[in-house]
Amino acid sequence: MGSGTPIVLGPDLPTMESILRREDFGRVATSLGPADLAAAIREVLDVPAAEGAAWRQRIAARAREAYSWPIAAAAYADRIRGLDG
């Protein structure tokens, strides 16, 4: 995500799917079958060049502001501190 590359995700990963759909980070394949994976990949690849470039920039920017390691580490530290109480 940090590089702006759209993700193609397989099914049955609800937490990751929720983030991917909410943030528009990529596409979810309907199954792990080759045809369904190819269809999801094709959706990503068929985005017009200018729109794709803007999409990749949005993915990278959003990943930096919401999902980078310093942000994740702070959330983990907060969670651990909460376990002490």
The SS3 assignment for 10 reads coil
Enter the pTM of the model. 0.79
Domain assignment present for residue 54? The answer is: yes
- Listed in sequence order, the residues at least 6 apart from 43 whose beta carbon sits closer than 8 Å to its beta carbon are 27
- Supply the range of the domain harboring residue 19: 7-84
Q: Which contiguous run of DSSP H or E holds residue 23?
A: helix 14-23
Residue 13 forms part of a structural domain: yes
- Count: domains in the chain: 1
Distance separating alpha carbons of residues 47 and 84, to the nearest angstrom: 48
Residue recorded with tokens 């993700």: 7
**Looking at the DSSP assignment, which residues form a beta bridge with residue 27?**
8
Whether residue 2 is contained in a domain is answered as no
Taking only the tens place, the pLDDT of each residue in 1-23 is: 889 999 999 999 999 999 999 99
Q: What is the per-residue pLDDT across 25-58, written as a single tens digit (0 to 9) for each?
A: 999 999 999 999 999 999 999 999 999 999 999 9
CB-count burial class (<10 Å; 0-12, 13-18, 19+) for 6:
buried
